[in-house]
Amino acid sequence: MFPINRNRRLRSSKVIRDLVSENKINLTDLIVPLFIKDGKNIKEEIESMPSYYRMSLDVIEKEVKFLYEIGLKSVLLFVKVSENLKDNKGLEAINPNGLMQRAIKTIKNSVPEMVVITDVALDPYSIYGHDGIVKNNKILNDSTNDVLSKMALSHAKSGADIIAPSDMMDGRIKKIRETLELNKFHETAIMSYSIKYASNFYGPFRDALNSKPNFGDKKTYQMDFRNRDEAFLEVKNDIEEGADIIMIKPGLPYLDIIRDIKENFSCPIAVYQVSGEYSMLKAAAEKGWLDEKKVIIEQLTAFKRAGASMIVSYHSIDIAKSL
Ligand code: PBG
């Protein structure tokens, strides 16, 4: 009761504020997405993602050394597949000499301690830009899972630490876990994109990989953003099927869901601050309308406060430089 209780007492100096602060971003919580492209000496800016690049493997080799030195020790890999290698089967996705497989080996050779997380989904490999095999304009579930499990195995064989299926097919975690166990990859973890909404914030990412669906949309497999209860089902299934880490994506519009999962499950939670979130913030900063550094810290702290233990963010390097 006033004047006994004055909340301002603990806000009176920076040192006191730091003492009582409840959440903090650690560099060791951050995961850096990397876009990889075949070729030599390539570092090309993605038009809709200012200051973010596609890089060739020779550049990536140096980049991961740099990341590790500044304290960023986990990377999430995406490959931009040449158009002539795309099909409706995912053949290139399981090629032991594919770009992803070479990327994993290159990074593990360059910085063995770097945690390498790999995207598992067919969209970058698909002539239709969809996450699965297409038949009569439908995305097939079970035959997609067969390819995804082979893809995951091939990533594990190449040295991936964590497999991250982002496709949203039903039952894919079970299929992948069984395949990994059968082949003795007991220690390869699965970070499941369990709660992936059919979001309109993925646009710049699809530019980066040239992976936009060329018919329909992804609403028959990704979640409806009007729903909340369904998120519990997705997480429950994925944990039962063998997921080690649960991801929620996108970030900012779904802080409520992060909190829900934090309060109802005891698994580690990852949040993906997606490309559209990055680009919005960059665009406003470029116009001088927002203080970029401060807004990024505030945004990422909000993910921690909501309950995320790790954050995939295109701002990771900027954060590492400013902390
Ligand atoms: C595709 C995939 C997407 C993202 C990660 N994996 C896009 C999509 O589902 O169309 C989006 C990431 C981002 O926007 O940063 N499997």
User: Which structure tokens are listed for 15?
Assistant: 């040192």
Distance CA 117, CA 31 (A): 9
Answer with the residue of higher pLDDT: 271 or 3: 271
Residue nearest to atom 11 of ligand 1 (CA): 202
Distance 264 CA to ligand 1 centre (A): 26
pLDDT in the model for residue 36: 98
Distance 76 CA to ligand 1 centre (A): 12
pLDDT in the model for residue 107: 98
At residue 172 the predicted structure's pLDDT band, cuts being 50, 70 and 90, is very high
How many structural domains compose the chain? 1
* Cβ(221)–Cβ(234) below 8 Å: no
133 lies in some domain: yes
12 lies in some domain: no
User: Which structure tokens are listed for 183?
Assistant: 């082949």
Q: What is the pLDDT of residues 105-146, one digit of tens each?
A: 999 999 999 999 999 999 999 999 999 999 999 999 999 999
pLDDT beyond 90 at 322: no
Residue nearest to atom 2 of ligand 1 (CA): 166
pLDDT in the model for residue 1: 84
Other C-beta atoms closer than 10 Å to the C-beta of 198 total: 15
CATH code of the domain in which 257 resides = 3.20.20.70
Mean pLDDT of the chain: 97
The CB-side HSE value for 169 (13 A sphere, CA atoms) comes to 30
pLDDT beyond 90 at 323: no
User: Which structure tokens are listed for 29?
Assistant: 């919580």
pLDDT beyond 90 at 298: yes
pLDDT in the model for residue 242: 98
pLDDT in the model for residue 215: 97
257 lies in some domain: yes
Domain that holds residue 72: 27-322
Q: Where are the beta strands (DSSP E) in 167-322?
A: 189-196, 245-249, 269-273, 310-313
9 lies in some domain: no
Distance CA 226, CA 222 (A): 12
Annotation says 73 is catalytic: no
Share of the chain above pLDDT 90, in %: 98
Residue nearest to atom 6 of ligand 1 (CA): 166
17 lies in some domain: no
Annotation says 196 is catalytic: yes
**Mean pLDDT on 275-293:** 97
H/E element, 80: strand 74-80
Q: Which of 86, 196, 218, 304 is catalytic?
A: 196
84 lies in some domain: yes
Distance 148 CA to ligand 1 centre (A): 16
Distance CA 170, CA 178 (A): 15
* Cβ(248)–Cβ(273) below 8 Å: no
52 lies in some domain: yes
pLDDT beyond 90 at 309: yes
At residue 60 the predicted structure's pLDDT band, cuts being 50, 70 and 90, is very high
**Mean pLDDT on 311-322:** 96
2 lies in some domain: no
Q: What is the pLDDT of residues 209-265, one digit of tens each?
A: 999 999 999 999 999 999 999 999 999 999 999 999 999 999 999 999 999 999 999
**Mean pLDDT on 65-88:** 98
Q: Which of 37, 249, 282, 304 is catalytic?
A: 249
CA distances for 58 relative to 24, 26, 315, angstroms: 34, 29, 23
